[in-house]
């Protein structure tokens, strides 16, 4: 084999071609997997394209590539994914955090801007991404985060330890383990919201992710309904409920929030211009209320 045939460039190009039909980001996937084997970052690969790969590194790369071609998400193969500049452990017990979910974090931070020492409840935390991002920005917040999956919560708790962020984790089927009583300033969730049987569930990396974290009833609205119905009993007056949902569910979610008595109900668009987060306020006296509006794009 010539030196060129064994170079980083050679292996990356070959892997990119093989991944082309399987991934929306074949080159990036190949770079991330090879960088992981080499324990380097991607910029090192870019700087040393002629560098030959040792046989063990080729074996490592080919093994990861095989799993990627079988549909394993890159995040599971690397064991981590970045969210809100936090490197988070992820496993097949947790959904891979999505960049669009940062909208929920941004919206919550704006909403909380004038509220000191807020009490927050995040339902269905998975890897802990949302709760940890909020705690990182708001050390004064008292945050409870739940998940129905003890395995997911173990991952979230590990992430909290790794980043030294203090969150109360509870195994809970939505509100089941949360006492009634209006104590929270803000409840938020990125629940499962894809309709069972939606062909989208067969696409890309979704089949490898926990279906419990992705799909919810015939219209994808079961979890959203339960979360909205249970929120007024746990929110202080003037408290907020903030939900991520599918891009075609804005009308339905706003309708559910209004039917439950929420005020100032509106939706916000993600970076793709799709309605992605809806929120409302429980009626009652409020101090320092800020309304968040983003112009429609
Ligand atoms: N937005 C995710 C996706 O489309 C779904 C996440 C969820 O169900 N909460 O892949």
Q: Are residues 131 and 229 in the same domain?
A: yes
Q: Are residues 64 and 119 in the same domain?
A: no
Q: Are residues 41 and 188 in the same domain?
A: no
Q: Are residues 207 and 238 in the same domain?
A: yes
Q: Are residues 120 and 265 in the same domain?
A: yes
| Averaged pLDDT for residues 183-208 | 96
Question: Rounded to whole angstroms, how far apart are CA atoms 15 and 18?
Answer: 5
238-251 pLDDT, tens per residue?
999 999 999 999 99
Instruction: Please give the distance, rounded to the nearest whole angstrom, from the Cα atom of residue 12 to the centre of ligand 1.
Output: 30
pLDDT tops 90 at residue 294: no
Question: What is the domain-level CATH number for residue 262?
Answer: 3.40.50.150
Please give the number of the atom of ligand 1 that sits closest to the Cα of 214. 8
Determine phi and psi for 40, rounding to 5 degrees: -125, 175
Q: Are residues 217 and 132 in the same domain?
A: yes
Biggest CA–CA distance in the chain, Å, is 75
Burial class (CB in 10 A: 0-12, 13-18, 19+), 69: middle
Number of compact structural domains in the chain:
2
144-175 pLDDT, tens per residue?
999 999 999 999 999 999 999 999 999 999 99
Instruction: Please give the distance, rounded to the nearest whole angstrom, from the Cα atom of residue 213 to the centre of ligand 1.
Output: 8
Q: For residue 295, is it within any domain?
A: no
Please give the number of the atom of ligand 1 that sits closest to the Cα of 220. 8
Q: For residue 233, is it within any domain?
A: yes
Nearest residue by C-alpha to atom 6 in ligand 1: 214
Question: Rounded to whole angstroms, how far apart are CA atoms 154 and 147?
Answer: 10
Determine phi and psi for 239, rounding to 5 degrees: -75, 165
pLDDT tops 70 at residue 286: no
Q: What is the pLDDT of residue 1?
A: 52
Instruction: Please give the distance, rounded to the nearest whole angstrom, from the Cα atom of residue 35 to the centre of ligand 1.
Output: 27
Q: Are residues 134 and 268 in the same domain?
A: yes
Q: What is the pLDDT of residue 190?
A: 98
Domain interval for residue 154:
93-281
For residue 290, what are the CA distances in angstroms to 43, 90, 146, 173, 219?
Answer: 42, 34, 27, 31, 32
Q: What is the pLDDT of residue 5?
A: 59
**Full-model pTM:** 0.91
Q: Are residues 64 and 127 in the same domain?
A: no
Spell out the residues 6+ positions from residue 113 whose beta carbon is closer than 8 angstroms to its own. Answer: 290
Instruction: Please give the distance, rounded to the nearest whole angstrom, from the Cα atom of residue 192 to the centre of ligand 1.
Output: 7
CA dihedral 128, 133, 138, 140 (to 10 degrees): 20
Question: What is the domain-level CATH number for residue 15?
Answer: 1.10.8.10
Q: What is the pLDDT of residue 2?
A: 57
Nearest residue by C-alpha to atom 10 in ligand 1: 206
Please give the number of the atom of ligand 1 that sits closest to the Cα of 95. 6
Burial class (CB in 10 A: 0-12, 13-18, 19+), 183: middle
Q: Are residues 47 and 98 in the same domain?
A: no
pLDDT tops 80 at residue 291: no
48-57 pLDDT, tens per residue?
999 999 999 9
Ligand 1 pocket residues where CB is under 6 Å? 98, 190, 192-194, 214
Q: For residue 266, is it within any domain?
A: yes
What does the mean pLDDT of the chain come to?
94
Q: For residue 214, is it within any domain?
A: yes
Instruction: Please give the distance, rounded to the nearest whole angstrom, from the Cα atom of residue 193 to the centre of ligand 1.
Output: 7
Given ligand 1 and candidates 98, 219, 222, 277, which is best to mutate, with the most ligand atoms within 8 Å of its CB? 98
Q: Are residues 139 and 53 in the same domain?
A: no
Q: Which two three-digit tokens encode residue 64?
A: 């990861």
Nearest residue by C-alpha to atom 9 in ligand 1: 192
pLDDT tops 60 at residue 178: yes
Q: What is the pLDDT of residue 180?
A: 84
Q: Are residues 260 and 163 in the same domain?
A: yes
Q: Are residues 66 and 98 in the same domain?
A: no
């Amino acid at each position: 084999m010539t030196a060129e045939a064994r170079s980083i460039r050679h292996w990356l190009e070959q892997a990119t071609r093989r991944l082309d039909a399987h991934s929306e980001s074949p080159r990036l996937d190949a770079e991330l997997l090879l960088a992981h084997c080499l324990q380097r970052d991607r910029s090192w690969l870019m700087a040393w394209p002629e560098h030959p790969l040792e046989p063990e590194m080729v074996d490592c790369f080919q093994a990861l590539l095989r799993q990627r071609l079988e549909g394993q998400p890159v995040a599971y193969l690397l064991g981590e994914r970045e969210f809100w500049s936090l490197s988070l452990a992820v496993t097949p017990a947790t959904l891979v955090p999505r960049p669009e979910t940062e909208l929920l974090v941004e919206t919550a931070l704006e909403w909380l801007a004038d509220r000191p020492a807020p009490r927050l409840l995040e339902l269905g935390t998975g890897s802990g991404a949302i709760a940890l991002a909020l705690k990182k920005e708001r050390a004064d917040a008292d945050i409870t985060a739940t998940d129905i999956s003890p395995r997911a919560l173990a991952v979230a708790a590990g992430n909290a330890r790794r980043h030294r962020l203090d969150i109360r984790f509870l195994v809970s089927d939505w509100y089941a383990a949360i006492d009634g009583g209006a104590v929270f300033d803000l409840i938020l969730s990125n629940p499962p919201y894809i309709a069972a049987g939606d062909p989208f569930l067969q696409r890309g990396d979704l089949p490898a992710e926990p279906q419990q974290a992705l799909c919810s009833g015939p219209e994808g609205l079961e979890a959203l309904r339960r979360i909205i119905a249970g929120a007024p009993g746990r929110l202080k007056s003037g408290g907020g409920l903030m939900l991520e949902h599918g891009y075609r569910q804005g009308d339905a979610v706003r309708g559910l929030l209004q039917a439950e008595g929420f005020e100032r109900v509106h939706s916000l668009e993600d970076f793709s211009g799709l309605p992605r987060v809806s929120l409302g306020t429980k009626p009652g006296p409020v101090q320092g209320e800020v309304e968040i509006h983003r112009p429609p794009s």
